[in-house]
Amino acid sequence: MPPLFEKRILCIGAGYVGGPTMAMIASRCPQYQVTLVDINHEKIAAWQTDELPIYEPGLLRLVQEARGRNLFFSTDIPACIREADIIFVSVNTPTKTFGEGAGKAADLQYWEKTARSILQASQHDKIIVEKSTLPVRTAKAMERILNQSGKKVRFEVLSNPEFLAEGTAVRDLENPDRVLIGSRETDSGLCARQQLVDIYANWVPREKILTSNVWSAELSKLAANAFLAQRISSINSISVLCEQTHADIVEVSRAIGMDRRIGSRFLDASVGFGGSCFKKDILNLVYICEHYGLSEIARYWQSVLLINEYQQNRFVKTMLHEMFNTVAGKRITLFGFAFKKDTGDTRESPGIWIARKLLAERAQVVVTDPQALDNARQELKDALDAVEFEPDPYRAARGAHAVAVITEWDLYRDLAWERVYDSMEKPAFVFDGRNILPHPRLYDIGFSVFPIGRPALRQF
């Protein structure tokens, strides 16, 4: 009897990357069996319901289409490893918090445990695909763990970094700018690379599938995130100058973005970037540069993070300064807590830092967000008695002295701001950390409005 599926694909790590990526492969390639495993049993259970463990527009539809047909979820990691021909490793690689390299280097413990589980359970040759973002030359370590055990089974390690952005993951996976596959230039490396190219070629145009050596692929991911974060810090640095000189950052962004060499995307000034990747990947890059004795290069990239922290700090300082140098006892509502719109992810969100700073100033903090309240509660779990969590933005703003926009959710732009104003303490302040609100209209209603990098609209 012919096998039911042409290939058996496994992904270890069913998080923000593993989940959507495998759902897309399963949806576009019904001829492959795609299985997701995770050590977190609750997460695996949630993937099998319509309450998915992550929020991502369009994801539920994609999962529903393939689940039970060729997309499966399991906690039996050894059995799934044994069966698989191609294994994607998409476990978390956070910043190390202990020992050598603490606060900078990538913590590779989850990744290494995965390599050892693969080695232990495997009985036939496999292709291992690094999907996690890793320090350059990590594939070498993976190969050493896997191929030097004396076992007869051979493993070919590829690097296939993921470039999706949370909030647009499904769109990005469906129509990626590029797919990058790094391999060894050996016969077996090139053959493995071809097998991975064949998977993506089911829906990605061939000219968008780039191949490279393994180290270039690993480094490209770190470099891409560093460049993206650098753009945000660059425009944020100019936003500070705008506030001093009465230039308007929105006008400056438009003017420089029309230069094709610069391009218009990722030029929105804001309260700063968050998310699980930018900071961690830049720290990792800095650590690698330091390892190679490249202190000037390390300092250059470190400054991207410094500007980001500066921008977040500045936001709170402006609030404090404009609200008569005290927020003690004042109710301040954070509109949004996710690190960006269309996700419930709060990892490294500027909201965390801002909430903590406000709490240190003894403000009463209220957090509202359409998707991220559960994660917000987790992030602030040591301060739950001092923070209120309220899904409804109108109720959250009731009695507040100030509203601060942290996340650029569209719904905040479209609120009945007269109603918000009427329910707030006076004078009512809006600090728009994303420049998404209609500032002149808010001013006409009665608010004092403080955007980023644009002239403030004060009532007095």
Ligand X SMILES: NC(=O)c1ccc[n+]([C@@H]2O[C@H](COP(=O)([O-])OP(=O)(O)OC[C@H]3O[C@@H](n4cnc5c(N)ncnc54)[C@H](O)[C@@H]3O)[C@@H](O)[C@H]2O)c1
Q: Residues with catalytic annotation? A: 277
Among 93, 233, 284, 311, binds ligand X (CB under 6 A): 93
Distance CA 248, CA 256 (A): 12
State in angstroms the smallest separation of the CB of 141 from ligand X.
15
Nearest to ligand X of 219, 403 (CB atom): 219
Q: In what order do the strands lie in the sheet with 86-89?
A: 71-74, 32-37, 7-12, 86-89, 126-130, 155-159, 179-183, 209-213
- The sign of the CA dihedral 19, 24, 30, 31 is negative
Residue 446: CB minimum distance to ligand X, A? 40
As measured in angstroms, the least distance from the Cβ of 118 to ligand X is 10
Answer yes or no whether residue 110 interacts with ligand X by CB under 6 A.
yes
Of 162 and 243, which CB lies nearer to ligand X in the complex structure? 162
CA torsion sign for 234, 239, 244, 248 is positive
Nearer to ligand X, 346 or 368 (CB): 346
Nearer to ligand X, 75 or 234 (CB): 75
Q: Does 104 bind ligand X (CB under 6 A)?
A: no
Among 10, 22, 38, 327, binds ligand X (CB under 6 A): 38
In the bound state with ligand X, the residue whose beta carbon lies nearer, of 274 and 451, is: 274
Using CB under 6 A as the binding rule, whether residue 114 contacts ligand X is answered as: yes
Binding-site member from 16, 32, 339, 431 for ligand X (CB under 6 A): 16
Q: 2-8: which pairs have CB atoms within 8 A and are 24 or more residues apart?
A: 4/33, 5/31, 5/32, 5/33, 5/70, 6/31, 6/32, 7/31, 7/32, 7/33, 7/85, 7/86, 7/195, 7/199, 8/32, 8/33, 8/35, 8/83, 8/84, 8/85, 8/86
Give min distance, CB of 121 to ligand X, in A.
Answer: 12
Residue 54 in contact with residue 15, Cβ under 8 Å?
yes
Q: Is residue 415 close enough to count as binding ligand X by CB under 6 A?
A: no
Q: Least distance to ligand X from the beta carbon of 116, Å?
A: 9
The stretch among 32-40, 198-206, 258-266, 293-301 that binds ligand X (CB under 6 A) is 32-40
* Greatest alpha-carbon span in the chain: 81
The beta strands (E) that lie in 53-193 are given as: 71-74, 86-89, 126-130, 155-159, 179-183
Provide the minimum distance between the beta carbon of 14 and ligand X in the complex, in angstroms, as a whole number: 5
Select 40 or 48, whichever has its Cβ closest to ligand X.
40
- 386 part of the interface to ligand X, by CB under 6 A: no
To ligand X, the closest distance from the beta carbon of 67 in angstroms equals 18
Q: What gap in Å lies between CA 222 and CA 287, rounded to an integer?
A: 12
Binding mask 134-173 for ligand X (x = CB under 6 A): ----------------------------x-x-x-------
Near ligand X by CB under 6 A: residue from 33, 35, 70, 92: 92
Exactly one of 277, 307, 352, 373 binds ligand X (CB under 6 A); that residue is 277
d(CA 298, CA 53): 36
Single out the segment in contact with ligand X by CB under 6 A; choices: 90-98, 373-381, 399-407, 444-452. 90-98
Contact yes or no for 185/166 (Cβ under 8 A): no
Sole binder of ligand X in the list 9, 10, 13, 269 (CB under 6 A): 13
The CA–CA distances, whole Å, from 347 to 51, 307, 350, 365 equal 20, 19, 9, 19
**Least separation, in Å, of the C-beta of 54 and ligand X?**
7
- 14 lies in the site for ligand X, by CB under 6 A: yes
Q: Which of 91, 176, 104, 85 is nearest to 131 (CA)?
A: 91
The encoded tokens of residue 228 equal 């993206």
Q: Would you count residue 40 as binding ligand X (CB under 6 A)?
A: yes
- Contacts with ligand X by CB under 6 A: the residue count is 26
Task: Work out whether 95 is an interface residue with ligand X (CB under 6 A).
Answer: no
| Angle formed by the axes of helices 214-245 and 295-322, nearest 10° | 40
What span, in angstroms and rounded, lies between the C-alpha atoms of 405 and 79? 47
Q: Which residues bind ligand X (CB under 6 A)?
A: 12-18, 37-40, 43, 90-93, 110, 113-114, 132-133, 162, 164, 166, 276-277
